[in-house]
Amino acid sequence: MATEITVPALGESVSEGTIGEWLKQPGDAVAVDEPIASLETDKVAVEVPSPVAGVLGEHRAAVGDTVEVGAVIATVEEGGAPAAKADAPKAEVPDAGVEKAAPAQAKEAVGSSASSAPEGGDGAQTLSPAVRRAVLEHGLDPSTIKGTGKDGRLTKEDVLAAASQKQDTAKTGSPAPAPAASPAPAAAAAPSASGERREERVKMTRMRQTIARRLKGAQEEAALLTTFNDCDMSAVIEAREKYKDLFAKKHDIKLGFMGFFAKAACLALKDVPAANAYIEGDEIVYHDYVDISVAVSAPNGLVVPVIRDAQAKGFAQIEKDIADFGKRAKDGTLTMEDMKGGTFTISNGGVFGSLMSTPIINPPQSAVLGLHRIEDRPVAVNGEVVIRPMMYLALSYDHRLIDGREAVTALKIIKEAIEDPTRMLIDL
């Protein structure tokens, strides 16, 4: 008997999604609650599980199709045996002339290798389009890369990390380890003899389309302005170094910088409530709580899960929330509820090496704090030039609601709290 698999509820006000990837193919055996497809919504990727055990029947939607909640996308034959699959043809080991392989042949070779690479020791490894493109671009063998995604699947970050390690090995002059499988992927990285230039046209994911639409809308709707300040990170670095071991032992989490900035932001938003408000029609909506959206990089784009009631949480809980968001963003398991709401955003471009930027607000919010990399710079202290670890801070805000004086004041409060963390303890 065939059981229909339908699109599950995707969250409040979300009525449809896009088939991003089929995780199971017709004839594959599936277990109860095993994901068979990945759906892309405006904010997150949602896995569709099988309600029964059996063998996957037909796909009733293709990758890229838009499907509504409740629509049937596949069937499962209960209790059936998985269809026998022919062994993948063994890739022929190329000779010394492999570097002259045509690009089309190289791409085909990578596709064969990727589809037959083992995952967890059994079964075929399924690569998402983004991962497959990264494998092709860097000439890597996916079977030699350890996946950190859900169920051991490869993520784009895994491929990029492997590519970086490969480059580092090449720079040191140490011989790179021989690939475990066919070296066909190396052909993909080799330039064609004719010097052919290629380009690829890829449809934007639903999430990327939403990000583009919202950010462009923010520029068109809001009167954006950014104010800057620099911050001496000496006190925070000293506090982290002094208490990191005790903090980790007691709370089972590392003490990071984001906890300090989240608490400093709470102080600033308490004194400058306009930075924690938003415009709705001809009214201003103020909040007596602080829900901080934290910008997190995910395989499909930037997501902003929310630390709720940050003003009432301690450093440990804030750090745990952030660590949990980061892990689940990488695994693709964040939910719509995780990103719902938010009254203020913190974006940390410093982890990628950014020195300075003008972040864009996350509508309907009216302000966003941008953090940047820490670097030693000469500064004047008490009439003397000293070297201090400095960070540029940026506060972008909607000038329709927040005056320049208020924005500068809010950023100054954050700066002072970071330079003297005791202020956060005595509410100054």
| Domain around 285 | 207-425
Residue 182 has a pLDDT of 41
Is 89 contained in some domain? no
pLDDT at 85 over 80: no
CATH of residue 28's domain is 2.40.50.100
Q: How remote is the C-alpha of 230 from its chain's centroid?
A: 27
Q: Say if 119 falls within a structural domain.
A: yes
CA distances from 69 to 14, 75, 406 (A): 8, 16, 44
Q: Other CB atoms closer than 10 Å to residue 222's CB: what's the count?
A: 22
Q: Which residues pair with 232 in a beta bridge?
A: 390
Whether residue 174 sits in one domain with residue 248: no
Q: What is the CA radius of gyration of the chain?
A: 25
Per-residue pLDDT, 163: 80
Question: Would you report the helix, strand and coil content of the chain in percent, each value rounded to 5?
Answer: 35, 25, 40
Same domain, 264 and 397: yes
Q: Are 54 and 77 in contact (CB under 8 A)?
A: yes
Distance CA 62, CA 6 (A): 14
Examine the fold and report which residue of 157, 189, 221 is the final residue of a domain before the chain moves on. 189
Please state the rounded mean pLDDT for residues 40-59. Answer: 80
Q: Are residues 110 and 140 in the same domain?
A: yes
CATH number at residue 246: 3.30.559.10
User: Do residues 357 and 372 make contact, with C-beta atoms less than 8 angstroms apart?
Assistant: yes
Do the Cβ atoms of 372 and 229 come closer than 8 Å? no
| Average pLDDT taken over every residue of the chain | 79
Alpha helices in 9-102 (DSSP H): none
Q: Same domain for 277 and 404?
A: yes
Q: Which amino acid is at 403?
A: D
CB distance 183 to 141 below 8 Å = yes
347-360 pLDDT per residue, tens: 998 888 899 999 99
pLDDT confidence of residue 79: 67
Say whether pLDDT at 288 is over 50: yes
229/261 Cα distance (integer angstroms): 14
Q: Are residues 167 and 305 in the same domain?
A: no
If 0-12 CB within 10 Å is exposed, 13-18 middle and 19+ buried, where does residue 29 land?
middle
Residue where a domain stops, chosen among 50, 78, 106: 78
Instruction: Count other C-beta atoms under 10 Å from residue 221's C-beta.
Output: 14
**Could you give the number of structural domains in the chain?**
3
Span 123-151, pLDDT tens digits: 445 566 567 667 777 778 777 888 887 66
Whether residue 317 sits in one domain with residue 375: yes
104 plus 63 within the same structural domain: no
Distance CA 310, CA 318 (A): 7
Q: How distant, in Å, are the alpha carbons of 19, 40, 47, 207 from that of 68?
A: 11, 12, 15, 16
424 pLDDT more than 90: no
* 62 and 119 together in one domain: no
Q: Token digits for 125?
A: 């490894």
In this predicted structure, the answer to whether residue 74 has a pLDDT above a threshold of 90 is no
Q: Using an 8 Å Cβ cutoff, are 284 and 401 in contact?
A: yes
Is residue 87 in a domain?
no
Higher pLDDT, 228 or 177: 228
Q: Does the pLDDT of residue 242 top 50, yes or no? A: yes
Which of 59, 60, 55, 58 is closest to 83 using CA atoms?
55
- Give residues with Cβ within 8 angstroms of 73, minimum separation 6: 5, 6, 7, 19, 37, 48, 59, 60, 61, 67
Residue 197 lies inside a defined structural domain of this protein: no
Give percent of the chain above pLDDT 90: 35
Question: Is residue 83 assigned to a domain?
Answer: no
CA–CA distance, 181 with 88 (Å, rounded to integer): 13
Same domain as 177, residue 286 = no
Question: Could you say which of 139, 154, 189 is where a domain stops?
Answer: 189
In a domain, 385, yes or no: yes
List residues with catalytic annotation: 399, 403
pLDDT of residue 170: 59
Q: Is residue 349 in some structural domain?
A: yes
Say if 420 falls within a structural domain.
yes
